[in-house]
Structure 1
């Protein structure tokens, strides 16, 4: 794969490691963006990593655009030495699938959907070859997911399924975006799952909702007092299906600041993962049981 460099106006350089998301591209992007940060290039004010790319914001009065581009390109050799291991965390995220709030919302916007007669889950199960919605939901939560970027909306994580490529779920976005999506909706678009951190417009298919607050600009939530955004690139997520009673219980505990997500520190090794994805995932998920 060939790295592509482009300018984003006068204050940004965009570096794309690959046109498609893969864990290999993610690790190369992470390695190179870290190299740019460590190089401490004069004028750099922000480095924003994405799925298989990153963007550098800088002050052109300190370092001219052509010089900034050259300084970043000179670090590309670091991507070829990308470390394929990282210490990270696996997080259990409760999900109330087929909840009443996303259901009410999706029914209001059926004219914008590929399948006006069904639900988002009906459609997703059918086009992915599952016999039932229940089987599709099991496929969604049975294996862990990798947070490859956070953004677009403040605190919103994009999650990449840790399975063989031919087993990955794929669901297109709505034909036309909705003007409403409940806060903390678990959505799906293309090959990525996500959690809507705030209420607002959206185009991802809606599968359920989590009671877990993931973005708190006031930092009043007990587990978000150190940082207002919960997720960070490299996190691993295991969805946990819950019912209405458990949803209500967790939501009340989040509001009372007596709940915190279950988290375990793990080592993620890309080479070992590629050798035996199912077995490696099982070990990752076992760490949660011991947490």
Structure 2
């Protein structure tokens, strides 16, 4: 579909890239917002990318709404002709699946769940046709995830699984939201994975927890001293299953300022990815581990 443009009040331009959630839609949104940022349009004060859309805040005393519309539409034309390649980061995130803290929480809220007789992992494995929780965890951690947007709660990443649509994990949210979710819970709702950056209410299924802080307004965490939010749209995430011992060690390393998540810069080419998804993902993982 062609991009749809609407104004939100006097200071916002909203652009819808697609009506469906897909890697192509996220890529279009990311390419457009990158192009707008590089264009340095006078009067633009903020650019906010989302899963398949984005919003621009501008000062109408500096640029007329019709003029910013023309500028952005010109960038759309240029972006459509550009190579679908971005320079981004791939990062490894440790996850303690089936941990005691999310387990205790999900058991407190079983009456709000589709299947009160089991756990979130058991439910997700069953409805996605996996034979066991271990098989499901292997699928969840086996392929990378593309960070399509960051927000809703400060620092929270929405992530889209980088596999064919028929292989994507799909799990509905709770029937009624919980009033509690542990900080750094790895969750899933619909087609999106996420990491809860802070403790609070939530409705996504809970699969595990990471020892790695992703939001620190105090900026005392060693790798968050420059910016309090870890994730950026376009980041590629690879989950690494860990056990309780490794989790405890990572928590201690974070506290002592010696935890450093593996991060590598990588070029991501959407067309090459689409030609051979599993092969391309293997190459990405090779870059992450220096192969």
Q: TM-score range by the shorter chain?
A: over 0.9
Paired residues of 1:27 and 1:83 also in contact (CA < 8 A): no
SS in 2 for 1:103: helix
The aligned counterpart of 1:285 is: 285
The SS at the match of 2:75 is coil
TM-score, normalising length from structure 2? 0.95
Q: What is the CA–CA distance in structure 2 between the aligned matches of 1:76 and 1:267, rounded to whole Å?
A: 22
59-68 or 275-284: bigger deviation? 59-68
Q: 1:111 to 1:50 in 2, by over 3 A?
A: same
Once residues 86 and 36 of structure 1 are traced to their aligned partners in structure 2, the CA distance between those partners, rounded to angstroms, is 15
Residue 96 (str. 1) matches residue 96 (str. 2)? yes
Distance in 2, matches of 1:257 and 1:176, equals 38
Q: Secondary structure at the match of 1:75?
A: helix
Structure 2: runs of 5+ lacking an equivalent: none
Shift of 1:22: 1.9
Q: Distance in 1 between matches of 2:43 and 2:288?
A: 42
Partner of 2:225: 225
Counterpart of 2:163 in structure 1 is 163
Corresponding residue for 1:53?
A: 53
Does residue 115 of structure 1 match 2:125?
no
Counterpart of 1:133 in structure 2 is: 133
User: Taking structure 1 as reference, are residues 279 and 15 closer, same or farther at Cα in structure 2, changes over 3 Å only?
Assistant: same
Secondary structure of 1:265 counterpart: strand
Residue 191 (1) aligns with residue 191 (2)? yes
- The Cα shift of 1:66 comes to 4.0
**Aligned equivalent of 1:254:** 254
Rounded Cα–Cα distance in structure 2 between residues aligned with 1:269 and 1:225:
31
Aligned equivalent of 2:2: 2
Residue 35 of structure 2 is aligned to residue 38 of structure 1: no
TM-score (norm 1): 0.95
Relative to structure 1, the CA distance from residue 174 to residue 230 in structure 2 (aligned partners, 3 Å threshold; closer, same or farther) is same
Distance 2:129 2:108 in 1: 26
SS at match of 1:76: helix
Q: Aligned partners of 2:237 and 2:209: how far apart in 1? A: 15
Given that 2:30 and 2:234 are in contact with CA atoms closer than 8 Å, whether structure 1 keeps it comes out as no
Q: Is the 8 A contact 2:85 2:267 kept in 1?
A: yes
**What CA distance in whole angstroms lies between the structure 1 residues aligned with 2:242 and 2:14?**
40
Gaps of 5+ in 1: none
8 Å CA contact retained: 1:48, 1:55? yes
Q: Provide the aligned length of Structure 1 versus Structure 2.
A: 291
RMSD of aligned C-alpha atoms?
1.5
Distance 1:34 1:273 in 2: 20
Is contact 1:31–1:83 with CA below 8 Å preserved after alignment? no
